[in-house]
Amino acid sequence: MTAPASVPEIRKGLAGVVVDTTAISKVNPETNSLLYRGYPVQQLAATKRFEEVAYLLWHGELPDAAQLAEFRAAERAGRALQPNVKAAIDLLPTTAHPMDVVRTAVSVIGASDPTTDDASREANLAKSMSLFAALPAIVAYDQRRRRGEDLVPPRDDLDYSANFLHMSFGEVPEQVVVDAFDVSMILYAEHSFNASTFTARVITSTLSDLYSAVTGAIGALKGPLHGGANEAVMRIFDEIGEAENVVPWLDAALAEKRKIMGFGHRVYKNGDSRVPTMKASLDTLIAYYDRPDLAELYDTLSGEFVERKGIHPNLDYPSGPAYHLMGYDTETFTPLFVASRVTGWTAHIIEQAASNALIRPLSHYDGVDERSV
Ligand SMILES: CC(=O)SCCNC(=O)CCNC(=O)[C@H](O)C(C)(C)COP(=O)(O)OP(=O)(O)OC[C@H]1O[C@@H](n2cnc3c(N)ncnc32)[C@H](O)[C@@H]1OP(=O)(O)O
Ligand SMILES: O=C([O-])CC(=O)C(=O)O
């Protein structure tokens, strides 16, 4: 008789496992802080625009005036929806989830780029810019075609967020809405080794290309335990209807052991560092659109859930209703997250490529013992 093999320590879901270093962002659950390249994200959201944050994530420093002007010009030059990408989107049924459409569009861009397999830093920065610039058109056009509306061409006189809203709705909303949108883009941009970023790093570690890594990351973000939660929050709000239904709805949901989307986090256990900033933007939108009923539903659900379970809201909880108020369809929320997070993903792809080791963990076999056929 052979002695049973000892079982090594297994960290399901890699919980608590440190797999590499990164200089891009620091998530600190003890101090409830999030730094992008050393800067607190709250300060960036209060004083910078999303283009400056994208530059910071890729280059490590904030841009000076000339660098920002050059960066903005490059972004504007890549805004138009390319005919082959539009044609590919038009082939997809409107029953497809918008995340599937965005994933396919990125894949088409990759397949059409003659430099796809050039993994130099310069080539990867150029590809990152082309995705950053193209994603607003992809996300906006897909929502419009579902509504039976035509493509809206970009406007060169507008910054990133104002142009994104213009391409989505055919008009530029009041500055208060543009600002809330820009804050959401900054807050969603980067969060260390989350599941989608780790996916991008795994794909990069095989020496695959940037577009493949981003395509895989989009697939990982789609799930409701990750980015898909902003959409799921709005579906929960629709299910509950109004604040007075929260208690019976929550009683039933908890009895059924349902996960309440928009709450909980693998790293933060005492609240997500980004929530107060996004909640402040949501509050300005609630005042602007005169929707105190939504504020009441938001506060009642979070108050009840935190009191009963001690589990706090994550960024998807305030951003879901914020995108709803801006006029986005619920299924478009996670593609908006993609348009922002592409900056963090590509920063990690470039970092991984510069200091690569194939990512290949081990597993402990617990299947049938060796036997003869
Ligand atoms: C931008 C982002 O991606 S932020 C995350 C967005 N995702 C969501 O909002 C989905 C809802 N939340 C969750 O599913 C989880 O909190 C996760 C996946 C985000 C983090 O999960 P983990 O760190 O793996 O914690 P885990 O899921 O093991 O939860 C620990 C306990 O809290 C419970 N719990 C955690 N979150 C929730 C929730 N939202 N609703 C109900 N119970 C929850 C779990 O059921 C578990 O209870 P148990 O110990 O009795 O089994
Ligand atoms: O860090 C995580 O696990 C999820 C998250 O909040 C993010 O990706 O923004």
How far is the C-alpha of 53 from the C-alpha of 12, rounded, in Å? Answer: 34
Do residues 88 and 205 share a domain?
yes
Token code pair at residue 332: 């478009």
Cα 364 to middle of ligand 2, angstroms: 27
C-beta of residue 289 within 8 angstroms of C-beta of residue 177? no
Query: Tokens 């992809």, residue?
Result: 138
In a domain, 15, yes or no: no
Set 166, 316, 324, 348: catalytic member: 316
**Can you tell me the distance from the alpha carbon of 310 to that of 5, in angstroms, rounded to the nearest whole number?**
40
pLDDT reading at 1 higher than 80? no
One domain, residues 64 and 113? yes
Protein residue whose Cα sits closest to atom 51 of ligand 1:
257
Predicted structure pTM score? 0.97
The model's pLDDT over 166-195, given as tens digits with 9 standing for 90+, comes to 999 999 999 999 999 999 999 999 999 999
Distance 210 CA to ligand 2 centre (A): 21
- Name the nearest CA neighbour of 43 among 190, 189, 186, 191: 186
In whole angstroms, what is the distance from residue 200 CA to residue 349 CA? Answer: 6
pLDDT digits (tens, 9 = 90+) for 105-137: 999 999 999 999 999 999 999 999 999 999 999
Q: What is the pLDDT of residues 17-30, one digit of tens each?
A: 999 999 999 999 99
Are 103 and 247 members of one domain? no
Tokens of 109: 């861009």
Question: What does DSSP assign to residue 26?
Answer: E
The whole domain housing 205 covers: 40-220+340-354
For atom 2 of ligand 2, which residue has the closest CA? 194
**Whose CA is closest to atom 25 on ligand 1?**
266
Burial class from Cβ neighbours inside 10 Å (0-12, 13-18, 19+) for residue 314 reads buried
- Quote the ipTM score: 0.98
Q: Are residues 349 and 303 in the same domain?
A: no
Q: 16 CA to middle of ligand 2, Å?
A: 14
Q: Which atom of ligand 1 is nearest to the CA of 13?
A: 24
Q: Is 316 a catalytic residue?
A: yes
- Give residue-wise pLDDT tens across range 193-231: 999 999 999 999 999 999 999 999 999 999 999 999 999
CATH number at residue 236: 1.10.230.10
> And the tokens for 311?
């589990």
